[in-house]
Amino acid sequence: MMPPEQENTNTSTTGNTGPSSIILTNWTETVTVHAEPSLSSSISNMSSCSAQDQGLQGQQEPSLSRSFTILRASLRPVTLMFADVAYSVCLSTKGTGFTSGEPKSARAVLNGVSGVVRPGELLAMLGPSGSGKTTLLTALAGRLPGKISGSITYNGQAFSSSMKRRTGFVTQDDVLYAHLTVLETLTYAALLRLPKKLTREEKIEQAELVIMELGLTRCRNSLVGGPLFRGISGGERKRVSIGQEMLVNPSLLLLDEPTSGLDSTTAQRIVATLRGLARGGRTVITTIHQPSSRLYRMFDKVVVLSDGCPIYSGQAGRVMEYFESLGYNPGFNFMNPADFLLDLANGKLK
Ligand SMILES: Nc1ncnc2c1ncn2[C@@H]1O[C@H](COP(=O)(O)OP(=O)(O)OP(=O)(O)O)[C@@H](O)[C@H]1O
């Protein structure tokens, strides 16, 4: 099955999302308006706040507007294009694999995957377990070892160290220190990762802003916790991990299963956050398992993988129309498109 559209390969940004109207405007607004903002309401303001931002500039503390300007300047629109991406892993055919003379066989993990994501867009990768979502995400983040065939470009260029600095990657398994509080975790991340141009106070301020933006105020002084003692909840952990990447204001943000194990309301808040980050001028890509139709509607684009092969890559809203044109009919009108796609990817619909 072929992807439905060969997307135009020019690298211009979409619509009105440029570096001049980014999420950080919302952070300042949140600080001035809410003690503990509702995430969805703060997110809903994101894409339209450049005018408000200008209005607020005069009222802000000097340090806040300075750090805001420095971070805003670091945002660069990134158009990510991947074409015909294929990747194989070497497997030992017998024995333990510890001796170099053993015969090896290759297993294709990705096969001919293409797509394009522009600034302002949120792309979701769907597919059954083992279909290659994490492998593709890791490849797009420039972190996959070994040879990848096909092409992956960032504004038409290969992955570079400057692109690496502008990329945020949230892995499925977080690496957080159990004995630190949420505030300490994000403050240390800010002190270590924010540019030297910012003062210590400005960096701490950014950590506080991210806490508010992600609705973590209630647990800001709670220990993160771990396997040996209980700390913050699973959803809060995910948001702390996302916050660590949000702090550095990445232009390209990739997340592996940010909603796994979460209730539908928390999952919706996280996807709303991601959409808000995209609308602020970023390029956002996430893998996701079994999204509800409410979540599905928040995606701009989807790539659906089945055993490493793409069965769809394009606009999320046109998926049903595309498969209907191929003769695949869900049979009733109110089906969650994600359920339909996963049935297709699992080979349940013939
Ligand atoms: N280095 C490797 N060595 C062997 N097999 C690998 C390697 N990397 C990936 N695979 C295999 O490739 C397939 C795709 O893995 P991947 O983690 O990308 O799937 P996924 O769609 O993200 O799965 P899940 O939803 O369960 O996380 C799996 O069958 C996995 O076992």
Whole-number pLDDT of residue 329: 76
For range 252-276, the mean pLDDT: 89
Percent of the chain with pLDDT over 90: 47
CA 132 to ligand 1 centroid distance, Å:
6
**φ/ψ bin of 209: left (φ > 0), alpha (ψ from -120 to 50), beta (otherwise):** alpha
Q: What angle do CA 318, 324, 326 make, to 5 degrees?
A: 110
Residue 41 scores a pLDDT above 60:
no
Write out the H or E segment, with its range, that includes residue 336.
none
Residue 69 CA, ligand 1 centroid: distance in Å: 41
* Cβ–ligand 1 contact at 109 (below 6 Å): yes
Distance CA 119, CA 180 (A): 34
Q: What is the Å distance from ligand 1's center to 150 Cα?
A: 19
Residue with the bigger pLDDT between 250 and 340: it is: 250
Tokens of 182: 């949420």
Q: Given this model, what pLDDT does residue 51 score?
A: 33
For residue 62 the two structure tokens come to: 């000097």
> How many Cβ atoms sit within 10 Å of the Cβ of residue 36?
13
Q: How many CA atoms lie within 13 A of 13 on its CB side?
A: 19
Residue 77, pLDDT > 90, answer: yes
**pLDDT one-digit tens code per residue, 177-234:** 999 999 999 999 999 989 888 899 999 999 998 898 888 999 999 999 988 889 999 8
Compute the distance between CA of residue 6 and CA of residue 83 in angstroms, rounded to an integer.
Answer: 10
Residue 289 CA: nearest ligand 1 atom is 25
Q: Among 39-53, 131-145, 266-280, which range has the highest average pLDDT? A: 131-145
Beta-carbon contacts of residue 85 (< 8 Å; ≥ 6 apart): 110, 112, 113, 114, 136, 139, 148, 149, 150, 151, 152
pTM strictly above 0.90: no
pLDDT-derived band of residue 61, with 50, 70 and 90 as boundaries? Answer: very low
Chain segment 289-303, per-residue pLDDT in tens: 889 889 999 999 999
Strands annotated E in the chain: 80-92, 104-117, 122-126, 148-154, 167-170, 252-255, 283-287, 301-306, 309-315
- What is the arithmetic mean of pLDDT over 41-58? 35
DSSP 8-state assignment for residue 13: P
Residue 197 structure tokens: 């141009």
Q: Which of 305, 77, 73, 313 is nearest to 197 (CA)?
A: 73
Q: How many CA atoms lie within 13 A of 86 on its CB side?
A: 9
- Ligand 1: residue whose CA is nearest its atom 29: 130
What is the interface pTM, i.e. ipTM, of the complex?
Answer: 0.97
Question: How large is the C-alpha radius of gyration of the chain?
Answer: 21
Does ligand 1 have an atom closer than 6 angstroms to the CB of 127?
yes
pLDDT in tens, 291-336: 988 999 999 999 999 999 999 999 999 998 898 888 887 666 667 8
**Above 70 in pLDDT, residue 75?**
yes
The pLDDT of residue 100 is 59
Can you tell me the distance from the alpha carbon of 144 to that of 109, in angstroms, rounded to the nearest whole number? 12
